[in-house]
Amino acid sequence: MARFDLEVPEDIIKSFESLSDNTDKIFGEMTRAGAELVYKNILKNMKSSFKTTKSLEKGLKITKTYKTITDDGINTKVGFYGYDGVPTKKYPQGKPIPLKALAREYGTSTEAKKPFFRKSFNKSQIETEMKIVQDKYIRGES
């Protein structure tokens, strides 16, 4: 019977152990890089759909990177939060910024839709950004 012995250099073993120990950090930075790209795309696309974007820019946020309990996924979200600050009878805190964004994205009975949010998610761009972060860790630059 044939026999095969393989000696792996210790530095390669240590680099694999380091990658294994830091997977949450690596995936967190990868999702953060993708979210930052989407954030920039949303800002760019928003200018073409709205006359003024001040209140929407104020409400556009990137969340902290977090780990979900149900499936151990690592997420970073981009979304609209808060109010525009002009109180009305119906909205005492001001009109919700997510409501304004949804009305523009999907349209209303009086206004045609002008999608800007969905256009901002370019899968190939996001994957490229995430691979840049991944390659940084594989090369050991962290």
| 69 Rama class: left (phi>0) / alpha (psi -120 to 50) / beta | alpha
pTM recorded for the entire structure? 0.82
Residue 4 lies in a domain: no
**Domain containing residue 122:** 15-138
Residue 56 lies in a domain: yes
Give the pLDDT band of residue 97 (cuts 50, 70, 90).
very high
Which candidate, 56, 48, 142, 69, places its Cα nearest to that of 99? 56
Residue 82 lies in a domain: yes
In DSSP terms, 74 is beta-bridged to: 67
pLDDT at residue 61, rounded to an integer: 95
Give the pLDDT band of residue 83 (cuts 50, 70, 90).
very high
Residue 49 lies in a domain: yes
Residue 7 lies in a domain: no
Predicted confidence (pLDDT) per residue in 101-140, tens digit:
998 889 899 988 888 999 999 999 999 999 999 888 877 7
pLDDT surpassing 60 at residue 42: yes
Residue 126 lies in a domain: yes
Residue 2 lies in a domain: no
Yes or no: say if 126 and 34 are a contact pair by the CB < 8 Å rule.
yes
pLDDT at residue 132, rounded to an integer: 94
Give the pLDDT band of residue 141 (cuts 50, 70, 90).
low
pLDDT surpassing 90 at residue 96: yes
Residue 58 lies in a domain: yes
pLDDT surpassing 60 at residue 142: no
**Number of domains forming the structure of the chain:** 1
pLDDT surpassing 90 at residue 85: no
